[in-house]
Structure 1
């Protein structure tokens, strides 16, 4: 009986390890990838890094360098599940980032589009669609993966 219990525990452990290796985003259904992640991994994926350089509402004197200055943070990458790091940015009226880049004199301005309420008031779905595409293109051009909008 003891041997059977130890065998069951060993097989369960091996099964979980194998399913984690086999469940990969892009190769496996999302629900299977999520099922194979531990509770801690799911929590780390959802929490992300937060706004770099800030503790609550207080800015740190020497904020860490970001791939996209002014972005709102990123998630944690999980290479074993093929989950990449995603750069997040705020922007209920388009992309909100800092226009300066270290080592460059060029400015990286993003367009300030009308807020969603104003766009809805236009009663022009085609215009709203065009603006949505423009915001998406600008977001992609500046290296941001996910826009935290509308606010």
Structure 2
């Protein structure tokens, strides 16, 4: 197998090990106020821990199922996520993790998004909240 020496844990991703596993998720969406969305999210190490892969599946069809890969840029000290969903949408997000909050965001011209997942104190559940801005709204 080619490149097996690089199949090692990425130290920049180590803080995210608290989210590794299967999760039932609950969240809201800014375009559908008053609606609570439920589904499942999994986080798993990819390539020996070099990356973290997230998979989501929602019970409501309004939110697409997706897969994303989280990695790091050690020179910049940042985390990024490459996202792809069942609609064929592909995006890049900046990722942050601190104080039990995992968030990813993008701020592109005319369209900005932010998703925040909060771990419960006992780390048994995660609650998500999303925000979106189109144009100046």
Normalising by the residue count of structure 2, what TM-score does the alignment of the two structures yield? 0.26
Structure with the larger strand share: 2
Structure with the larger helix share: 1
Normalising by the residue count of structure 1, what TM-score does the alignment of the two structures yield? 0.25
